[in-house]
Structure 1
Amino acid sequence: MASNVVHLVSADVEFRNSLSKLMEANGMGLTVHPLVRDWLDAPEPVDGCCVILDVELGDLDCPERLKRFAALCASPHVLVTARRGDVPMAVLAMKHGAAEVLQKSLRMDELLERVNLLSLHRNASDSKTAH
């Protein structure tokens, strides 16, 4: 079963700090990955209820990273955030199957709701594969 740890991939310090406080206040853990390129180059974390990708197009500057991004977007436990007005990033995420693309600046209560839904979905998926 997935833990209640959220993996946040974001270079945005303010966003990371806000999300850290939100997760702590709601009894969830947060693992921060501040270097998007490094995280996209590394294997996907096994543990955790969901991944929040706060990525810009410039982070996808090589085919391997774009391929990894596409694979992550197709995963049902990944939420992508796009900067206000970054339509190309939102479209790219949706083209690759992202179930959730939220525009920043988003309300933290909305983000928490989405994280909880992704966590429930992840736990349900884990339960099915365990049987």
Structure 2
Amino acid sequence: MTEQDPQIVYVVDDDAAMRDSIAELVDSVGMRAETYPSAQAFLDVCKPRHPCCLVLDVRMPGMSGLTLLERLQTQGAPIPVILLTSHGDVPMAVDSMKGGAFDFVQKPYREQALLDCIQAALSLDRDRQNQRETGHRLDQCVSTLTSRERDVFDQMLAGSTSKEIARALDISPRTAEVHRRNVLRKFKVHSTKALIALFAPAPAATQRAS
């Protein structure tokens, strides 16, 4: 994924004026908006592309915004969701953040506040996408290792030196070093430290504080 990938803001609201207003705001800063008049319409036709986020009205006829949020969570669709709420819906929106919403914005919204929230949600989605792509690439690299290289790889991740690997696997230090170099070459890194860094847990993504 590159910085040139289109950033898409999905807007779901039964109020046409609100949808158009948000779409115009999003377009004005060079992002792309796709609008839907109902939660069901979004589910029926939308195939989310990344990086993206969803600006979602809480109260709508038929399927509510909260029900759509729950549906997306159940389906494992990791879309950052920004809830649009009225003043009376704020406690509900706060609770919904525990259930997976990214943030909420009160109506009538302030343009800059909504844009800041959207940018943060898109940044989160970009980070998630990068992590998924990195994980896929690393899985592919692991799949290219021979059985013995995988043994050496496991020892390297534990921080073992070539001599320690040789003792643990009952092989010569020279053989351990050959396997070690092969592992580094396949992962396109130049040191055990760099290899370990590839598999270090990414910082946990956090939701915005309202």
Q: Same-fold call, TM > 0.5? A: yes
CA RMSD after TM alignment = 2.7
Q: Which has the higher strand share?
A: 1
Aligned to 1:96: 99
Return the match for 1:129 from 123, 126, 132. 132
- For the 8 Å contact 1:23–1:30, the answer to whether it is kept is yes
Return the match for 2:11 from 8, 12, 22. 8
Q: Does residue 1:72 correspond to 2:72, yes or no?
A: yes
- Identity percentage of aligned residues: 27
Residues 91 and 122 of structure 1: is their aligned pair in 2 closer, same or farther, counting only changes over 3 Å? closer
Specify the SS of the correspondent of 2:9: strand
Return the match for 1:25 from 25, 28, 31. 28
Residues 87 and 116 of structure 1: is their aligned pair in 2 closer, same or farther, counting only changes over 3 Å? closer
CA–CA separation in structure 1 for the residues paired with 2:69 and 2:112: 26
- Higher-Rg structure is 2
State the 1:69 CA deviation: 2.4
Aligned to 1:45: 47
Amino acid at match of 1:22: L
Return the match for 1:36 from 30, 36, 39. 39
- For the 8 Å contact 2:102–2:121, the answer to whether it is kept is no
State the 1:89 CA deviation: 4.4
Residues 43 and 18 of structure 1: is their aligned pair in 2 closer, same or farther, counting only changes over 3 Å? closer
CA–CA separation in structure 2 for the residues paired with 1:38 and 1:116: 24
Residues 58 and 13 of structure 1: is their aligned pair in 2 closer, same or farther, counting only changes over 3 Å? closer
Residues 120 and 91 of structure 1: is their aligned pair in 2 closer, same or farther, counting only changes over 3 Å? closer
Structure 1 residues without counterparts, runs of 5 or longer: none
Q: Which has the higher helix share?
A: 2
- For the 8 Å contact 2:26–2:32, the answer to whether it is kept is yes
Specify the SS of the correspondent of 1:85: helix
Higher relative contact order (CA 8 A, sep 6+): 1
Amino acid at match of 1:29: R
TM-score using structure 2 length: 0.51
How many pairs were matched up?
126
Segments of 4+ in structure 1 off by > 3 A?
57-61, 71-76
Structure 2 residues without counterparts, runs of 5 or longer: 135-210
Structure 1, 72-81 or 98-107: larger mean CA deviation: 72-81
CA–CA separation in structure 1 for the residues paired with 2:6 and 2:45: 18
